[in-house]
Structure 1
Amino acid sequence: MERPRFRAYFLHPRFWPLWLGLGVLWLVVQLPYRLQLQLGRLLGWLMFRLAGPRRQIAERNLQLCFPGKSAAERERLLLENFASTGIAFFEMAMSWWWPRSRLARLAHVEGLEHLQQAQAAGQGVILMAVHFTTLEIGAALLGQQHTIDGMYREHDNPLFDFIQRLGRERHNRDATAIEREDIRAMLKVLRAGRAIWYAPDQDYGRKQSIFVPLFGIPAATVTATTKFARLGKARVVPFTQQRLADGSGYRLVIHPPLADFPGDSEEADCLRINQWIEQVVSACPEQYLWAHRRFKTRPEGEPKLYGARK
């Protein structure tokens, strides 16, 4: 995709409220980092009180995925999850607007050699991630260490889309933003020996998925990871990030490449991926994006797991 460009159209009065909101947000994120964490928790509490439908989805997901926890334990986890989601709003703005040097001080990176080795071998990398609430700042911090391309879906608001892409791409001057549906472009990037951020943990419908267990529930799981790895001749390298509880920043871990991947079948590969997702989400459940309707697509004949969408 071409680089984001400012257009005079963005000065139209219809965008003034957004400009005002972005200006206020820019001022707020100049505050000390730990204070922003507290503001984020406050925002998360407000979201918990006001965002009823999303709260119900997250609550249902926690019931489905952690049936062994008590109702009180799940309630505490739900509250912490909304706090993490509120913090993510400020992390997004930090990653867009903080000076690179200030942002870099928050990064605690492990396993960078796995990306460097693939790059030296001229082999592409599918940087397999999951949708943690910290994904925006995690991608920015890693982008300062190594060029990472990304899958991209255009935002409905053209001004917000411009600001978002400008903020993201400043960490990777030579990075490529690839439309999520542009399979040919993704394979071209992988065959060129580049690394691309990719998360296979959401429900994209029946057409491009097969059903394999996730937390013991049949889940529509995309087979694209296998196809991309095979056709792009790429390594699949798991990547996780976590907001540290002591307020010192973020732990970014690039794990060793998956051995013998792709495997014997797409089903076996999807099961292997889902088992990894279970492992990393269970290690840090409060920072996962539970507000996504992960189990909305059901096998034939099985009842829906969520209420009617409002």
Structure 2
Amino acid sequence: MSFLFSLLSRLPLSILHNLGALLGWIVYLASPTYRRHLRENTAQAGPWAVAARAAAIAEAGKGLLELPYIWLRPQAQVIGQVMRVTGWELIEAAWREERGILLLTPHLGCFEITAQYYGSFRPITVLYRPPKLAWLQPLMEKGRGTHLKLAPADLGGVRSLMKALRRKEAVGMLPDQVPGRGEGIWAPFFGKPAYTMTLAARLAESDDVTVLLIHAERLAYGAGYHVVVQPLGAPLAETLEARVAQFNAALESLIETYPEQYLWSYNRYKAPAGALPPGADAGAGA
């Protein structure tokens, strides 16, 4: 499989995206579980998400087949696919003020390229979970720029993120990734409780950390990417629970702007093994 990955990486991005659109439909038609998650999640979000289903199926396939290009091409070629950048002045302002930066990147567009783009300028530490397929691990680690460091989703990784922020560097994470038991709380996401990580909300507590949303819109016809940086949109909430809900609400607004590029097939509403159900009293399960 690694050999196939290497072969795919040599294809132009436009061809990979065309093949990916076809692959997206093949996976959708072949997998009842995939199909169910996508249909349920779009229905939960609303009619605007349902209307984007067909496009989202194709975009999910593009996201899969662009990985060989993003991971295995030289960094200069990967970064060269970023055709437009909006909101970068927000990052430059944090640099001038010597603040740490917390970059929240949902499963939207090409979420692999955002950290690589930032890492072409300054150091960034990214929280990640090792892939279930072991052969992907070395490929994932290879496809990183000089300034991009990986922090595993464990206690050691959390320490790495905290140290990076204290050095006034950037950290990145997928805030809509379902955390493990004890690492999250239930918070609304498109009107339904979703087990949501608290780590991002905890890291944002520091007075010298700037919280920003960042994503890379996938341009049509394999024309590259548009990196967009946005502010949180409101003052940071005071309590942990309120911040978690605030982050989810910010992601909702972002996803509603680009519904066809969100990974609707991700099982966002699953509960990790042993986690109490929404609204359950913690003491009742003791």
With the shorter chain as reference, the TM-score category is: 0.7 to 0.9
Which residue in the other structure is 2:72 paired with? 97
- Are the counterparts in 2 of residues 41 and 86 from structure 1 also a CA contact under 8 Å? yes
Which residue in the other structure is 1:287 paired with? 261
Query: Which runs of no fewer than 5 residues in structure 1 stay unpaired?
Result: 1-20, 302-310
Given residue 7 of structure 2, which amino acid in structure 1 is its aligned partner?
L
Which digits, 9 at most, give the CA deviation of each residue in 1:36-68, with x for residues without a partner? 2111111112111212212211111111111x4
Q: How many residues align?
A: 272
Give the 5 Å matches for 1:1-310.
21-66=1-46, 68=47, 74=50, 77-107=52-82, 108-167=84-143, 169=144, 171=145, 173-182=146-155, 183-204=158-179, 207-231=182-206, 233-245=208-220, 247-256=222-231, 260-261=235-236, 263-297=237-271, 298-300=277-279
- Are the counterparts in 1 of residues 114 and 214 from structure 2 also a CA contact under 8 Å? no
**Alpha-carbon deviation of 1:133?**
4.7
Which residue in the other structure is 2:283 paired with? none
Change (3 A) 1:247 1:156: closer
Which digits, 9 at most, give the CA deviation of each residue in 1:82-102, with x for residues without a partner? 211211122111112223343
Query: Which runs of no fewer than 5 residues in structure 2 stay unpaired?
Result: 272-276, 281-286
Q: Within 1, Cα distance between the matches of 2:134 and 2:177?
A: 25
Q: Within 1, Cα distance between the matches of 2:124 and 2:210?
A: 14
**Alpha-carbon deviation of 1:205?**
5.4
The Cα RMSD (Å) is 2.4
**Alpha-carbon deviation of 1:194?**
0.7
Change (3 A) 1:283 1:205: same
**By percentage of residues, which structure has more strand?**
2
Q: Which has the larger radius of gyration?
A: 1
**Alpha-carbon deviation of 1:154?**
2.5
**Alpha-carbon deviation of 1:197?**
0.8
Given residue 213 of structure 2, which amino acid in structure 1 is its aligned partner?
P
Q: Within 2, Cα distance between the matches of 1:192 and 1:112?
A: 21
